Structure 1
Amino acid sequence: MTSWAGRTAAEIAAAVREKKVTPREVVAEHLARIELLDKRVGAFRVVRTEAALAEADEVAARADLAELPLAGVPVAIKDNVAVRGESNRVGSAATPDTPADADHATVARLRAAGAVVVGLTNVPELCVFGTTEGVHGTSRNPWDTTRTAGGSSGGSAAAVAAGMVPIALGNDGMGSLRIPAANCGLVTIKPGFGVVPAGISDGDWFGMSENGPLATTVEDARLMYSVLADTDVVRGEGTAKRKVAVSLRSPLAGVAVSKPYTAAVKAAAGLLAGAGHEVRRADPPYPLSLSVTAITTWTAGTSVDAQGLDPRKLARRTRVHAAIGRRFVDKVRAGKSREQLRRRLEPFFAEHDVLLTPALARRSPKAGPWHERGWLRNVLANSNYSPMTPPWNLTGWPAMSVPFGTLPSGAPCAVQLVARPGSEAALLEMADQLEKLHPWQRTAPLG
């Protein structure tokens, strides 16, 4: 008997289109895996068992089944994106438990492509932090369940890394796709501004937040991204030779990058050079003010999202974050600091096609009740392990996290690829090369 849990989205969709397996059989097998594993992982807030099976039957009955790119593929949705008939709690006790009237545009596109929504995944409250825990559960890294999966798309990343779904939808406001993907050994792409429908929260953190895929292979990431962006991203042959800048420097002053992550970048750079790319060491001209721009924008976004919510039902770290950000909302909304950052970095990307950096500075913090800990402790923990991602939300430029190597614990390590606007296809092509040259184990050995 063929097992479908743990197979790629591309494999599942092809088998469903060819009627080698039914959508119900695929979905049922993944639901059984969720039932078996999620008590250990904490990926899901809601599992849509009966609704997902009914959806699977609807997909099977579609007249266009043979043309669906995601035919019968189970997908998990981050709990800050609207799913028709389900409440959208955003990791909080302060949000209303009211079912959504309609799907978000990205969910509608996934369903139109034949995907089946099996559940909504855990996030930290209001998706603020790079660890995922709160009143609805704690998401752990399936490769090392003593560690957080990361955040804020931690539940989505954990679900994919554990083989509970082949792909999941997340989003990224300051690294919220790339951080958990790097922790959990997944491929993700944060699209550039305006490529994939956003509309994630009140103002999308001033246009910084982007929806994107979490997957175990570049092929699946490309497939899901194509559906989300409503465009056909053709798989390249990897023949284009690009100018690659390699930087080991943290964008945030005073944060050091640990040896496993610098070693991963050096090894990846060597492979790309061997593949014919022009690779050289070069640091982007990050301004000293970047830390201030990041913290003011981060807190101001939370302040906007917290408006109208009962502060007594918010965790202390969220209340403090929102209160600090309140004074910066008008300044951040004006966008001058972000425009200055773009102008400063544009000449660097005129000279280089792709920037290769560590995805993180060090392994993720231990899983635990971070939502019960102080604001400063949370901010320091986040900044010290994930300083590499914020600049590319501030600029609105595309960036990827790609698995590369392992940490001493055996958990995955990762690198980050960044490029100028409109370069999503080029990033996916380079990630595809890295996967061919240095394959990774796709899912954690949880049984």
Structure 2
Amino acid sequence: MSSWAGRTAAEIAAAVRAKEVTPREVVAEHLARIERLDGRIGAFRKVRAEAALAEADAVASRADLAELPLAGVPVAVKDNLAVRGESHRDGSAATPDTPAAEDHVTVARLRAAGAVVVGLTNVPELCVFGTTEGVFGIARNPWDTSRSAGGSSGGSAAAVAAGLVPIALGNDGMGSLRIPAANCGLVTLKPGHGVVPAGIGNGDWFGMSENGPLATTVEDVRLMLSVLADAEFVRHEERTPLRIAVALRSPFAGVSVSKPYTTAVRQAAGVLAKAGHRVRRAEPPYPLSLAITSLQHWTAGTAVDAAGLDPARLARRTQVHAAVGRRFLASVRTGDQRERLRARLTPFFTEHDVLLTPALARRSPKAAPWHKRGWLRNIAANSAYSPFTPPWNLTGWPAMSIPLGTLPSGAPCAVQLVGRPGTEETLLDLAAQLESLHPWQRTAPLAAQA
């Protein structure tokens, strides 16, 4: 492994601030790694090699270099957020190839903190699905390249898992950070509503979509989240015992959960119980209608984002998704269903501080041209493997995915932590405790062999 590619963001930034290495050296190593590996992974739509090296030199010349939290850290940006001078295509042939005049606020904050944008990562068209493929290629899981990296932040997750960048920016409207993080053995946190500026698509999918970090350690997630939120998320060394509910049942009726994921939850529960937390089985009172409510909001969000685009240039699955969603726009916009769900789940989170669940129900689908397959087949595949993430977009509450355990293939398994509004620090502290007591391999063997 090269000396800087594969290091954490915190390690790189500390070395750059101390002038042990220059931002150009760090970025050049990561660009070389991308050139060697990304043909096998498909993480990036656009690599900004020359521009990134110029940005790295600009960081090195900053008077405040010694104070930058992300000094010289290479970062990848999901291709539905504006990067100045680059187009953002949302994975679609229907979107304009027009360079953005300004950075999205989250990108601007990363750059202000000293990060260097090395490229824009692949997404499914309009960031709709939980697998990442389309006209710009297929993003594969670096742990098992026969499988999808997940979606819709699949390219960003694949880039971090392969050590192409130490951190990446993604977003999550129905699980689009947590799904690929769980597949690729990463840590992520979907922040609660309003913690990080959104500004995703045409209305943030009615306020359900949130921008957030993808990283290999809890420390890097905490560091990046602090930059994105422009707020400090303090680590508390003195840990108060938490009331942790352990739930194994799928929120969607009729969806089964495979043994590796239930085993991972039981293992995490045992680790946390031994650490002194009050852990007990308790299933949230999910309504039977939750799958339908999720589908209505999911499709309606796509209907809004597809408005104004040439339908003939959209994939068939996207066209159908948007057409279905148009029927639900009026009811979804009221917010009544989401408010009822929050009211139903709030008493549960009065009795419990944190909910522990599987991150997924089963491993990701095969890496394949899903964008050429029918809508129903895509819906069935997505719903069968990722039922645990949508409730927390509907409520707007924070949720994390953390690697824990392995699948029979050797790829990572993962668990999800959920908290009430304003508990991002609590979730980060609990995740850090799990990381300390049950550490995980940070990057995929594919990356380690390069």
Once the two structures are superposed, the pairs formed by residues 92-171 of structure 1 within 5 Å of their partners are: 92-171=92-171
Amino acid of the residue matched to residue 168 of structure 2?
A
Q: In 1, Cα distance between the equivalents of 2:262 and 2:94?
A: 41
Contact 2:89 2:97 in 1 (8 A): yes
1:43 corresponding residue in structure 2: 43
Q: In 2, Cα distance between the equivalents of 1:287 and 1:277?
A: 28
Where 1:114 maps in the other structure, the secondary structure is coil
| 1:136-168 Cα shifts (integer Å, max 9, x gaps) | 110000000000000000000000000000000
Q: In 2, Cα distance between the equivalents of 1:75 and 1:45?
A: 14
Where 1:234 maps in the other structure, the secondary structure is coil
Where 1:400 maps in the other structure, the secondary structure is strand
| 1:329-373 Cα shifts (integer Å, max 9, x gaps) | 111010100000000000000110000000000000000000000
Contact 1:27 1:56 in 2 (8 A): yes
Contact 1:6 1:443 in 2 (8 A): yes
Where 1:285 maps in the other structure, the secondary structure is coil
Q: In 1, Cα distance between the equivalents of 2:296 and 2:231?
A: 34
Contact 2:124 2:132 in 1 (8 A): yes
| 1:31-83 Cα shifts (integer Å, max 9, x gaps) | 00000000000000000000000000000000000000000000000000000
Structure 1 position 230, deviation (Å): 0.5
Where 2:245 maps in the other structure, the secondary structure is strand
Structure 1 position 234, deviation (Å): 1.3
Structure 1 position 2, deviation (Å): 6.5
Q: In 2, Cα distance between the equivalents of 1:162 and 1:217?
A: 14
2:182 corresponding residue in structure 1: 182
Q: In 2, Cα distance between the equivalents of 1:416 and 1:321?
A: 27
1:442 corresponding residue in structure 2: 442
Using structure 1 for the length normalisation, give the TM-score: 0.99
Amino acid of the residue matched to residue 252 of structure 2?
L
Distance 1:168 1:238, change over 3 A: farther
Q: In 1, Cα distance between the equivalents of 2:236 and 2:23?
A: 30
Indicate whether 1:372 and 2:389 are aligned: no
Once the two structures are superposed, the pairs formed by residues 249-328 of structure 1 within 5 Å of their partners are: 249-328=249-328
2:79 corresponding residue in structure 1: 79
Cα RMSD for the two superposed structures: 0.7
Where 1:69 maps in the other structure, the secondary structure is coil
Q: In 2, Cα distance between the equivalents of 1:34 and 1:116?
A: 15
Q: In 1, Cα distance between the equivalents of 2:140 and 2:292?
A: 30
Using structure 2 for the length normalisation, give the TM-score: 0.99
Contact 1:92 1:135 in 2 (8 A): yes
Where 1:417 maps in the other structure, the secondary structure is strand
Amino acid of the residue matched to residue 240 of structure 2?
A
1:196 corresponding residue in structure 2: 196
Q: In 1, Cα distance between the equivalents of 2:200 and 2:303?
A: 15
Contact 2:2 2:29 in 1 (8 A): no
Aligned length: 447
Where 1:403 maps in the other structure, the secondary structure is strand
Where 2:255 maps in the other structure, the secondary structure is coil
| 1:94-127 Cα shifts (integer Å, max 9, x gaps) | 0000000000000000000000000000000000
1:206 corresponding residue in structure 2: 206
Once the two structures are superposed, the pairs formed by residues 408-423 of structure 1 within 5 Å of their partners are: 408-423=408-423
Amino acid of the residue matched to residue 345 of structure 2?
L
2:25 corresponding residue in structure 1: 25
Moved segments of 4+, more than 4 Å: none
Where 1:151 maps in the other structure, the secondary structure is coil
Contact 1:42 1:140 in 2 (8 A): yes
Where 1:365 maps in the other structure, the secondary structure is coil
Structure 1 position 238, deviation (Å): 5.0
- Structure 2 gaps, min length 5: none
Amino acid of the residue matched to residue 49 of structure 2?
T
Q: Percent identity?
A: 80
Contact 2:94 2:309 in 1 (8 A): yes
